[in-house]
Amino acid sequence: MSEDSIRELVAGSLERIRAARTLEELEAARVEVLGRKGALAIAGKEMGKLPPDARAAFGKLLNGAKQTLEQSYEARKRSLDEGALSRRLDGEWLDLTLPAPGPRRGHLHPITRIQRELEELFRSLGFAVLDGPEVETEYYNFDALNIPATHPARDMQDTFWLEGGNLLRTHTSPVQVRGMERLGPPLRMIAPGRVFRNESVDASHEHTFYQLEGMMIDRDVSVAHLLYFMKTLLAAIFHREVTVRLRPGYFPFVEPGFELDIQCLICGGPGCPVCKQSGWVELLPCGLVNPNVLRMSGIDPGEWNGFAFGLGLTRLAMMRYGIDDIRHLQGGDLRFLEQF
């Protein structure tokens, strides 16, 4: 093979490379020219047929040709790559001035909202916010609240019993006991939390719901103090003055015990379907702490007394937002939750 034919081969191959209009055409050209069975490889085999003194010069020529073609190939490839990239960028063009859909924002559950409002209110009145375990002992849930095993009041609360005599707390009242033991008198505390009852579920009964327990222990606490705090609490919840009344109610841990009613917020007294024509709605049980309860937690009832109340947070949320089925609250259905 002569030098001239090599030069010809180079010129033809350069032409071929430059003419490639796509990366595929270029790859085909590369295989033909630079590939293992390509034109240069074939020319390389000719070298063996040359006389030894001509081989070095021919080899140099071939190497030069290879370099030239490789450079040309790389240059063409770069330019085709850039073209492909800019075509892709054109195709994927985004209008960054279009308004974005905006992040989806969640919000607090209606019960959490009421709970936090009340925590803030009671903190401002000097109350500590306490927490207690949901798995309780019989002692804290019943005995220390003046409900011994033989007491019929145990049947008022259908209990989920656990192995080893423990239970799921049926009310937040056990946190009163823990508060008295830990902090002693004088004491102002509330305890919001989840409670459990072994009940069949319907529109107004859930096995899991929320209460907010409150307790104040000091010297010479009276029903007037209880009423003052309850009215302050209700004004904060309903954003207006609320008329209340006390009816006698029985709970072993208070004496006297009351049911506190509020004047119906819908009709204001004359009677409507919400208050079942009575003009009053039952809101929360409360009372003056039974001396036995104080004594069992190491507080001298001769020196201290107090009031306690148990607010149904779930019930309150239902009243405030007009929710007619308790099952919605823990159901997790977004169509319900997104309304708040």
List contacts with ligand DAH (CB under 6 A): 171, 173, 213, 251, 254, 285-287, 308-310
What pairing do the DSSP bridges indicate for beta strands 187-196 and 128-129? parallel
Q: How far is the CB of 253 from ligand DAH (least distance, A)?
A: 6
**Is 13 exposed, middle or buried (CB count within 10 Å of its CB: 0-12, 13-18, 19+)?**
buried
Q: Which is nearer to ligand DAH, 127 or 309 (CB)?
A: 309
Which is closer to ligand DAH, CB of 73 or CB of 304? 304
Helix/strand/coil for 218: strand
To ligand DAH, the closest distance from the beta carbon of 315 in angstroms equals 11
Nearest Cα to 259, choosing from 284, 224, 234?
A: 284
Q: Which of 18, 225 has the CB closer to ligand DAH?
A: 225
Distance of closest approach, residue 340 Cβ to ligand DAH, in angstroms:
25
Q: Smallest gap, in angstroms, from Cβ of residue 238 to ligand DAH?
A: 20
Are 140 and 165 in contact by the 8 Å Cβ rule? The answer is no
Pick the closer one to ligand DAH by CB: 21 or 295: 295
Angle, CA 52 vertex, CA 51 and CA 57 arms, to 5°: 95
Q: Is residue 191 left, alpha or beta, with left meaning phi > 0 and alpha meaning psi from -120 to 50? A: beta
In whole angstroms, the minimum distance from the beta carbon of 214 to ligand DAH comes to 7
Instruction: Give least dist CB 222 to ligand DAH, A.
Output: 15
- Asked whether 134 and 193 are in contact (CB, 8 A), the reply is yes
Nearest residue (CB) to ligand DAH, 171 versus 188: 171
Q: What is the DSSP letter of 155?
A: G
State which residue has the least CB distance to ligand DAH: 310
Q: What stretch of H or E contains 106?
A: none
Instruction: State which residue, 148 or 268, has the beta carbon closest to ligand DAH.
Output: 148
* Closer by beta carbon to ligand DAH, 13 or else 172: 172
* Minimum distance from residue 329 beta carbon to ligand DAH (Å): 17
d(CA 1, CA 228): 115
Angle at 39 between CA 35 and CA 42, to 5 degrees: 95
Sign of CA dihedral 71, 76, 79, 85: negative
Quote the least distance from Cβ 144 to ligand DAH, whole Å.
13
Six-digit token string for 61:
């020529």
Beta strands 305-312 and 244-248: pairing type? Answer: unpaired
Is the CB of 209 or the CB of 280 nearer to ligand DAH? 209
Neighbouring C-beta atoms of residue 196, cutoff 10 Å = 21
